[in-house]
A and B are shown apart, each in its own frame.
Chain A
């Protein structure tokens, strides 16, 4: 299965993405797609620009140039996409879905409208709030609407109470899923590291995303926790048909769960394809391990090509 041929087309198309910080080019003309319902891994050595790509996709950075197209349900036709791009609008309804130009949207809108959820490399839970509260905060926007922008909620409207009960049910579902139901009323900051990682994923899932971006979800986990994590991610993809974009350094995780791998080095894509092909790609091996002296010129020539 390669990107583009899955049903409905790719969920995310990164096109000619470039991000400059002053004179530093963190991402240089990067293009790749994330297929719908699949797990796409973004790998590369430290400092390759993976997290920068994430920050661009989730709206935390404004890209210097390039287009980030996210489609709900089905890809738009080329004309629809062109019309939207030229209109200056941020999103539009399209054939059988909606299309969003993420580079134009602020971060909270990317999460709220385009339904892209993310986790962070260094865990960012609301540590002083309980596990349950973390999952309820994630459902802020629907609850805010149900509370009539606070007015109805302040008066104790039954509609809001029902919405809150539903939110608790959803939270409980995810707590069961990650095995933290017993710790629902404990502070999130007091959980062990592995539990915090899983909770962050559950919190992202509570926003009901279409695309889930995970920034090194297995970092700092022991082998048993890592196995649990891969199981969770595969189950999420299976049950919810969710598309996942993944940054990961743990190659066993990448090779086990990803359907598609894009490799970044110095802000450029050096390989793109199914895990097995990428693993044996000489450029990838060179980027990670370096090369023998006699091969340097050959590899340099290949990279320059």
Chain B
């Protein structure tokens, strides 16, 4: 259809072709909408199923598809023209811009709680700092941790949530059984998770691509099922509660005389703890980022990337691919463990529900959308995806548009999928797809995305 439009340059011809194309798309939408949307079975007061026809919804969907397709076909030439002009040159200037942007982002994150306090006041700020700030930063950290395994070493790990769970549960169990505090549990959780990373690494060393993905996925499920079924230790579905919140170097965040507020002579508010948690996870995330950036410039990091590019060539150069893969698994898992430990301490309660495959999928999606190997891209993707889904909770005004039954959070997965489709069409290699070299002789030149390999698994 698009070809027809190209052959007939006349405006009228283009319009006709576009109309035809849009009509075809609308027909397709109709075909899809009838089985999915048209009929719905509800229960009435007597619990009897009632068939309800929703032809108005079908008509709306078809009309939307028609309009969107038509608009796209008519506007595309104009859009394509401007996009071609705006294509940035991938040189040192681009790198400097990215660095400036990253620095601005980091400063913005550091100031975020204060900005929120100023904007919405004390009572409103807790929600914004906790639900948005901390939640997003946990995923930024998970994304950065997985980026080592998937983005740098090119090993597709679909069971990353397992290490998150190991970190969380080891914190909870250490607290309850040995009475350790959070600050002791945090490094231990990272070490345990790293050990589990090595444990997973050994059997999957020979696997590549799809096979690696399936086995890691299974590993994630195994950990979750063990957590559910090993009731004497993990308390099964009921989970473990009563995990003490982190203290300010020994000072608890409560209204008591020994508490943080009393010691510093300020008025007690739960905000103190939230802000402290925010800065803790921010520091952990920055640590992850710093270590990763540093590792990239060390032999081990270059070996990871070389492994992603060509494993056989690596071996011909004397690189022990076994230990290289295991370190990638271990370090990536270790950061997942840190995040898990923080998660346990922040929630105060953990259960296997928090460690489903969905979490792994979200983290992988963040890494892929962000651009594999790009720290900045991963951070942006985490902010957009997690922030985007959280912000759905805030869109109450939509109820006035669509009626009181409308629940925006129900559309979370739909929007999630839509966003992924859009990004994969627009930027198939992720938001930031060019690769920055780890070392340069004269000038830093970014490597084009199509030359960088994704790894074989």
**B318 close to A132 (CB less than 8 A):** no
Cβ of B321: which chain A residues have Cβ within 8 Å of it? 108
Quick one: CB contact mask for B437-448 with A, threshold 8 Å, 1 for yes? Answer: 111111111011
Please give the distance in Å from A119's CB to the nearest CB on chain B: 8
Cβ of B414: which chain A residues have Cβ within 8 Å of it? none
Residues of chain A from 143 to 184 with CB closer than 8 A to chain B in the complex = 143-144, 147, 150, 153-154, 160, 164, 168, 172, 175, 181, 184
Quick one: CB contact mask for A179-206 with B, threshold 8 Å, 1 for yes? Answer: 0010011110110000000000001100
Answer yes or no: B153 CB below 8 A from chain A CBs.
Answer: no
**A126 close to B310 (CB less than 8 A):** yes
Q: How many residues of A contact B (CB 8 A)?
A: 46
**A112 close to B318 (CB less than 8 A):** yes
Answer yes or no: A117 CB below 8 A from chain B CBs.
Answer: yes
Cβ of B130: which chain A residues have Cβ within 8 Å of it? none
CB within 8 Å for A185 and B437 given contacts A112-B318, A127-B451, A128-B452: yes
Q: How many residues of B contact A (CB 8 A)?
A: 39
C-alpha spacing A120/B314, complex, angstroms: 12
Answer yes or no: A138 CB below 8 A from chain B CBs.
Answer: yes
Stretch at the interface among B113-121, B162-170, B301-309: B301-309
Cβ of A164: which chain B residues have Cβ within 8 Å of it? 439
Answer yes or no: A75 CB below 8 A from chain B CBs.
Answer: no
Cβ of B295: which chain A residues have Cβ within 8 Å of it? 150, 154
CB within 8 Å for A125 and B442 given contacts A108-B319, A140-B303, A187-B448: no
CB within 8 Å for A130 and B437 given contacts A141-B318, A144-B300, A185-B442: yes
**B299 close to A144 (CB less than 8 A):** yes
C-alpha spacing A112/B316, complex, angstroms: 9
Answer yes or no: A14 CB below 8 A from chain B CBs.
Answer: no
CB within 8 Å for A137 and B447 given contacts A126-B313, A130-B437, A168-B439: no
Answer yes or no: B291 CB below 8 A from chain A CBs.
Answer: yes
Answer yes or no: B11 CB below 8 A from chain A CBs.
Answer: no
Answer yes or no: B399 CB below 8 A from chain A CBs.
Answer: no
Answer yes or no: B4 CB below 8 A from chain A CBs.
Answer: no
CB within 8 Å for A133 and B294 given contacts A124-B310, A140-B319: no
Cβ of B438: which chain A residues have Cβ within 8 Å of it? 133
Residues of chain B from 298 to 339 with CB closer than 8 A to chain A in the complex = 298-300, 302-303, 305-306, 308-310, 312-321, 327
**A108 close to B300 (CB less than 8 A):** no
Name B322's closest neighbour in chain A (CB-CB). A108
C-alpha spacing A143/B319, complex, angstroms: 11
C-alpha spacing A248/B443, complex, angstroms: 37
**A189 close to B451 (CB less than 8 A):** yes
Answer yes or no: B245 CB below 8 A from chain A CBs.
Answer: no
Cβ of B435: which chain A residues have Cβ within 8 Å of it? 128-129
Answer yes or no: A33 CB below 8 A from chain B CBs.
Answer: no
Quick one: CB contact mask for B361-397 with A, threshold 8 Å, 1 for yes? Answer: 0000000000000000000000000000000000000
**A125 close to B448 (CB less than 8 A):** no
Cβ of A128: which chain B residues have Cβ within 8 Å of it? 305, 308-309, 435, 447, 451-453
Please give the distance in Å from A176's CB to the nearest CB on chain B: 11
CB within 8 Å for A147 and B298 given contacts A128-B452, A129-B437, A137-B303: yes
Cβ of A127: which chain B residues have Cβ within 8 Å of it? 309-310, 451-453
C-alpha spacing A137/B309, complex, angstroms: 12
C-alpha spacing A190/B319, complex, angstroms: 24
**A137 close to B302 (CB less than 8 A):** yes
Answer yes or no: A225 CB below 8 A from chain B CBs.
Answer: no
C-alpha spacing A58/B317, complex, angstroms: 10
Cβ of A118: which chain B residues have Cβ within 8 Å of it? 316
C-alpha spacing A208/B429, complex, angstroms: 36
Contact for A130 among B313, B317, B319, B440, CB less than 8 A? B440
Cβ of A111: which chain B residues have Cβ within 8 Å of it? 315-318
Q: Which of B305, B315, B438 has most chain A Cβ within 10 Å?
A: B315
Cβ of B302: which chain A residues have Cβ within 8 Å of it? 129, 133, 136-137, 140
Answer yes or no: A207 CB below 8 A from chain B CBs.
Answer: yes
CB within 8 Å for A186 and B445 given contacts A107-B316, A127-B453, A128-B452: yes
**A185 close to B448 (CB less than 8 A):** no
Cβ of B327: which chain A residues have Cβ within 8 Å of it? 150
**A138 close to B299 (CB less than 8 A):** no
Cβ of A126: which chain B residues have Cβ within 8 Å of it? 305-306, 309-310, 313
Please give the distance in Å from B84's CB to the nearest CB on chain A: 21
C-alpha spacing A60/B444, complex, angstroms: 35
Please give the distance in Å from A300's CB to the nearest CB on chain B: 39
**B303 close to A185 (CB less than 8 A):** no
C-alpha spacing A136/B297, complex, angstroms: 11
C-alpha spacing A160/B299, complex, angstroms: 10
**A140 close to B318 (CB less than 8 A):** yes
Quick one: CB contact mask for A13-52 with B, threshold 8 Å, 1 for yes? Answer: 0000000000000000000000000000000000000000
Q: Which of A111, A153, A160, A185 has most chain B Cβ within 10 Å?
A: A185
Quick one: CB contact mask for A246-284 with B, threshold 8 Å, 1 for yes? Answer: 000000000000000000000000000000000000000
Residues of chain A from 202 to 242 with CB closer than 8 A to chain B in the complex = 203-204, 207
Q: Which 8 A-B pairs have the closest CB atoms?
A: A128-B452, A112-B318, A111-B318, A126-B309, A189-B451, A124-B313, A184-B441, A143-B299
What are 22 A-B contacts defined by CB distance under 8 Å? A108-B319, A108-B321, A112-B318, A117-B317, A125-B309, A128-B309, A128-B435, A128-B451, A128-B452, A129-B309, A130-B437, A133-B302, A136-B302, A137-B303, A137-B317, A144-B300, A150-B298, A172-B441, A184-B441, A185-B444, A187-B451, A203-B317
Binding site for B on A (CB under 8 A): 58, 60, 107-109, 111-113, 117-118, 120, 124-130, 132-133, 136-138, 140-141, 143-144, 147, 150, 153-154, 160, 164, 168, 172, 175, 181, 184-187, 189-190, 203-204, 207
Binding site for A on B (CB under 8 A): 291, 294-295, 298-300, 302-303, 305-306, 308-310, 312-321, 327, 435, 437-445, 447-448, 451-453
**16 additional contacts, CB 8 Å, given A128-B309, A140-B318, A185-B443?**
A111-B318, A112-B318, A124-B313, A127-B310, A128-B435, A128-B451, A130-B447, A133-B437, A137-B306, A137-B314, A140-B317, A141-B318, A153-B298, A181-B441, A185-B445, A187-B448
